[in-house]
Structure 1
Amino acid sequence: MPLDDRLALLAEGRKNAVFTTSLGIEDQVLTAALARAAPGVRIVTLETGRLFDETVALIAETEAKYGISIERFRPDEKKLADYVQRFGMNGFYDSIEARKACCGVRKLEPLARALDGADLWITGLRRGQSANRSDVAFAEFDAERGLLKANPLADWDIDTVSAYVEAEGVPVNPLHARGYPSIGCEPCTRAIKPGEDERAGRWWWENDQKRECGLHVAGAAGQSQIPVQP
């Protein structure tokens, strides 16, 4: 099923559909398609305060390109100050506890506000991004948040994504061309080495091969897959 049709079908009848974008290449593809096929879907981003300058600049460029407004959700100032007082500005390097706490303040809590009242959450997750995401479903019920979570690019590989970008003239983060296939906060992202997973540059100092920030992690009982025809 073409991407536009997938998105239109997902958004049909939804009262508060939300797409969360990190401005990565997959999310830029979805933004371009949503602007055309499902303009009623809210597009939001988590402006963590530690993003690359290139990522921040791309927000405005994307808004101008598609005539859209991308909602920014930022960390709670008091919670952020409490984190810095306890762990330090860059304490996430010191322990997994500190790193997860930083992600909690800068990403998870703002995400909760972004998805408050939503009945559909669209993401740019793909199975090819890492071994940890190899079984990503097209759609699943997120019981923790009480909504349908859809991953319309689940079956796309990076070549398909890149071909779409080229064909449609989609603006992308210049960091991709410098070896950053997955881009998060600047202190926590490095370019990958040949042969590494696309997300190997995220929190590279940790040994856990299944490391995630927590945005797309839930207990086995928290999500149930829903069969969807691609």
Structure 2
Amino acid sequence: MKVMERLKYLNKELQGKSIEDAIAFVVQNIEGKKVFSTSFGIEDQLLTHYMVPHHDQVSVFTLDTGRQFNETYEVFHKTQKKYPSLIIETYFPDEQDVKEYVSVNGINGFYDSIEKRKSCCHIRKVKPLQRAIKGADLWITGLRAEQSQNREEMEFLEWDEVNQLIKFNPLLHYSLKQVEQEVNQFNVPINSLYKKGFLSIGCAPCTRALAEGEDFRAGRWWWENGKKECGLHIHQDKNY
């Protein structure tokens, strides 16, 4: 069965399943290496809770850009304590890449232009991600459709042409309210910045709290106009 046909079939089977059943179904039906990436945002924290029963089948990793909030490290530590069976591997940017970027652009050169910001994201996020998912057949993410306009057309399972693997978005149709309810229900640790208006938490220099009524992604790279993506998740046409 071709990839497109296979994913179409699996997406149909996932309709109406609970998140627990959906994750179990995908883990069982997708062969090969499976990875889950967490940035310790509220969505990823909820998924971490649901990944625990599959800790021997799904590898968990995070990207440390070197510019994180201390509050992110705090929730990382709390997560390790709550879920000791879950090993979270950390991937860092290449030291030489960072040195060269800073020597050319300055420590905060990403404020100067969109191109310099994207270059920083590439060094600190995209390249470490490529190492983290190397050899993986399935990448599990905490993306939700309502997070941004360019994520509204996603499906539970999609072919990632850039990284040559299947991407699984189990929280695709969850509202933020649903995420919050389940996080509270299971007493999942969350970043303390979240309750201060940081709904999308990235690097400290590039993230601010949201003002009332602002879009979910408005707090990321707020000095820029247009789509707010760092390059980790690029929604492509469904050309399987």
- Identify the residue that residue 174 of structure 1 maps to in structure 2: 192
Q: Check if 1:198 corresponds to 2:227.
A: no
Give the direction of change, closer, same or farther, for the CA distance of 1:160–1:39 in structure 2 (3 Å limit).
farther
Q: Secondary structure at the match of 1:174?
A: coil
Give the Cα–Cα distance (whole angstroms) in 2 for the partners of residues 189 and 151 of structure 1: 24
Structure 1 portions without partners, runs of 5+: 226-230
Q: CA shift at 1:193, angstroms? A: 1.1
Give the direction of change, closer, same or farther, for the CA distance of 1:61–1:14 in structure 2 (3 Å limit).
farther
Determine if contact 2:217/2:228 at 8 Å carries over to the other structure.
no
Q: Check if 1:6 corresponds to 2:29.
A: no
Q: CA shift at 1:37, angstroms? A: 4.6
Aligned residues: 222
Give the Cα–Cα distance (whole angstroms) in 2 for the partners of residues 38 and 71 of structure 1: 12
Give the Cα–Cα distance (whole angstroms) in 2 for the partners of residues 15 and 186 of structure 1: 35
Q: Check if 1:56 corresponds to 2:73.
A: yes
Q: CA shift at 1:146, angstroms? A: 1.3
- Identify the residue that residue 71 of structure 1 maps to in structure 2: 89
- Identify the residue that residue 64 of structure 2 maps to in structure 1: 47
Q: CA shift at 1:132, angstroms? A: 2.6
Q: TM-score of the superposition, structure 2-length normalised?
A: 0.89
Alignment of 1:18-167 (within 5 A): 18-37=35-54, 39-67=56-84, 68-167=86-185
Determine if contact 1:142/1:224 at 8 Å carries over to the other structure.
no
Structure 2 portions without partners, runs of 5+: 1-16
Q: CA shift at 1:19, angstroms? A: 0.6
Equivalent AA in structure 2 for residue 161 of structure 1: V
Instruction: Spell out structure 1 runs of 4+ moving beyond 6 A.
Output: none
Q: CA shift at 1:10, angstroms? A: 1.4
Q: Secondary structure at the match of 2:25?
A: helix
Q: Secondary structure at the match of 2:60?
A: strand
Range 98-107 or range 55-64, more displaced: 55-64
Q: CA shift at 1:32, angstroms? A: 0.4
Give the Cα–Cα distance (whole angstroms) in 1 for the partners of residues 43 and 58 of structure 2: 17
Give the Cα–Cα distance (whole angstroms) in 2 for the partners of residues 114 and 169 of structure 1: 28
- Identify the residue that residue 205 of structure 2 maps to in structure 1: 187
Give the Cα–Cα distance (whole angstroms) in 2 for the partners of residues 50 and 84 of structure 1: 13
Determine if contact 1:11/1:38 at 8 Å carries over to the other structure.
no
Determine if contact 2:41/2:190 at 8 Å carries over to the other structure.
yes
Identity of aligned residues (%): 48
Q: Deviations over 1:97-149 (max 9, x none)?
A: 10000000000000000000000000000011122322222110112211100
Give the aligned CA root-mean-square deviation in angstroms. Answer: 1.4
Determine if contact 1:7/1:38 at 8 Å carries over to the other structure.
no
Give the Cα–Cα distance (whole angstroms) in 1 for the partners of residues 193 and 153 of structure 2: 27
Q: CA shift at 1:8, angstroms? A: 1.1
Give the Cα–Cα distance (whole angstroms) in 1 for the partners of residues 33 and 98 of structure 2: 28
Give the Cα–Cα distance (whole angstroms) in 1 for the partners of residues 125 and 52 of structure 2: 24
Q: CA shift at 1:64, angstroms? A: 1.4
